[in-house]
Amino acid sequence: MELSSIYLAIPMFLALYILTQHVLHKLQNLPPCPFPILPIIGHLYLLKNPMHKNLSKLSKTYGPVLFLQFGSRRVLIVASPSAAEECLSKNDIIFANRPRLVAGKYFGQNYASLAWSSYGDHWRNLRRIASTQLLSSYRVQALSIFRTDEVHLMIQHLFQKCKNNDSYQKVDMKSLLFEVTFNSITRMLAGKRFYGERVVDSEEATRFQEIVGEQVKVLAKSSKQEFLPFFRWFSLEGIEKMCEDVQRKRDVFVQNWIEGFRKMRSNRITTNKENKDRTTIEILLSLQETDPEYYTDEMIRGLMLTLLTAASNTSADTMEWTMTHLLNNPEILKKARAEIDKIIGQQRLIDESDVPQLHYLKLIIMETLRMHPVVPLLLPHESSKDCTVGGFHVPRGTMLLVNVWAIQNDEKIWIDPEVFSPERFEDIEMGNDNGNQFKWLPFGTGRRGCPGENLAMRMIALALGSLIHFFEWERIGDEKEDMSELGGFTAPKARPLVANFRCRPTVVPLLSQT
């Protein structure tokens, strides 16, 4: 065949392929999708970061039920309360599975962890353990001593920086909030803290911080492989091997925790068996004694790593976004402080038991979660069989992304959604029986909803309430804080928040005594 004929045949083949795909799409009654669907890459050419905002624009053009082809994978995007309700309520069981992604293979124990296991007996049992043994209201309350202590240490750290100086001091809020959150979680899990003072094993702390950094980097590099598997054939960096190496380090690290507690177990049985503030690892090891075949070390490691990963960055990011909005809206910050002074006074520290009374603070956190949901697209779901969503056919094996950000920032649902207004929630109850459940769902809902919502809300409120209570806050400069965000699984601030603070004169005597 002559070269000119080849040049002519290629565009003809592409045009025929694209038209055939378009006709088949219509005949199968699949949801609307952008034209064209290109060979091999599908609609990947349309994706830009931040992905949740880019997908929101596509949904506004093609409708709230959108069908995309990410390389070889079919993807359903839903961006309305009614469509989300169809997927997470009416078809909840069908969409209760997880797709087999690189993250689930290596960081989800080969799709067997709580976050990445598909729906079935194993997942139901893991969920039951998490909900009743580890994250129940009783357990969350029992371990509040660790969270309260970490928040008080944070307050004392800031106080030492400004107690003898009336001028404002600078603080890196991102680091501060991550450290208090991470320490709170690791103390609940294993009685260990990794940042700040009272770190028993600084070498261990440094090692774990390095592992966390490696995991973040390798996940960022694996994104192309998720949807274009042929990249693995040409990858010079060996992404999957890197994932495997990082997971091995994670396993070894947590296994050392297990072995350490196992050595102390004989003493713990006699001295601390009924102690309500037992750490998570102690509870799991006690369950292992009753059923060693199910509660294996591997299963315990998976639960520990799931809780650690799910609770640390997301809560810290939410607090950073909240503080950013408060600095940009000083009148809201002033109103929140007035509520705290009225309820708590200035003669004592805030306790977690005070949190339910801080109504306006709760509204502030809800508004932050509306504008900046912790996981903008939720964790991906996958359909286990054919179903119908929005009147369209959704084939078995389709990955589902619920664009929570799009729903919670839709001008058709929320008045002035770009304005930070906690008061909008004063007359709105978010629950199962009032029609608003699928308008605000930063923690997801249904079978795969986040079981740690109660813990997250308590921890965020305690830390933020304490910062507002004891210190005055200002922006570094006259201009408002930058609100741009990074794209990815979560959506943290693109520019970490640095703020000015100083002690409130009225609370100096109290902080000097603690």
Pick from 236-250, 296-310, 454-468: least confident: 236-250
450 is in an annotated binding site: yes
pLDDT of residue 180: 94
Predicted local distance difference test score (pLDDT) of residue 311: 80
What HEC string does 54-95 produce?
Answer: HHHHHHHHHCCEEEEEECCEEEEEECCHHHHHHHHHHCCCCC
Q: Looking at residue 513, what is its pLDDT?
A: 83
The predicted structure's pLDDT at residue 165? 81
Nearest C-alpha neighbor of 491 from the set 409, 382, 425, 412: 409
Rounded distance between C-alpha atoms, residue 464 and residue 484, angstroms: 22
Q: 444: helix, coil or strand?
A: coil
pLDDT, average across residues 57-62 = 96
Is the per-residue pLDDT at 271 higher than 90?
no
Give one word for 191, left, alpha or beta, with left for phi > 0 and alpha for psi -120 to 50. left
**Given CA atoms 234, 238, 243, 247 in this order, what sign does their dihedral have?**
positive
Q: 238 pLDDT exceeds 80? A: no
Sheet holding 498-503, edge to edge: 169-172, 498-503, 471-474
Per residue in 8-45, pLDDT tens? 555 665 555 556 655 666 668 999 999 888 888 889 88
Task: Report yes or no: 372 and 485 within 8 Å, Cβ to Cβ.
Answer: yes
Give φ, ψ of 103 to 5 degrees.
Answer: -60, -40
User: How confident is residue 270, by pLDDT bands cut at 50, 70 and 90?
Assistant: very low
Least confident of 199-203, 338-342, 373-377: 199-203
Task: Give how far Cα 54 sits from Cα of 47, 75, 229, 456, Å.
Answer: 7, 15, 23, 28
Residue 273 CA to residue 492 CA, distance in Å, equals 40
Residue 229, preceding peptide bond in cis (omega within 30° of 0): no
Cα-based distances in Å from 354 to 58, 335, 362: 43, 17, 12
Kindly tell me if the per-residue pLDDT of 266 is higher than 70: no
What type of residue sits at position 290? T
Quick: pLDDT tens for 419-466: 999 999 997 766 544 567 899 999 999 999 999 999 999 999 999 999
Distance CA 175, CA 312 (A): 12
Of residues 27 and 335, more confidence is placed in 335
Single-letter amino acid, residue 349: L
Rg (CA), the chain: 25
- Six-digit token string for 252: 């070894």
Bin 111: left if φ > 0, else alpha if -120 < ψ < 50, else beta: left
Per the CB < 8 A criterion, the answer to whether 501 and 176 are in contact is no
Residue 414 · residue 370 · CB < 8 Å: yes
Structure token digits, residue 360: 């306006």
pLDDT of residue 233: 55
- What is the structure's pLDDT at 406? 98
What pLDDT is recorded for position 211?
A: 84
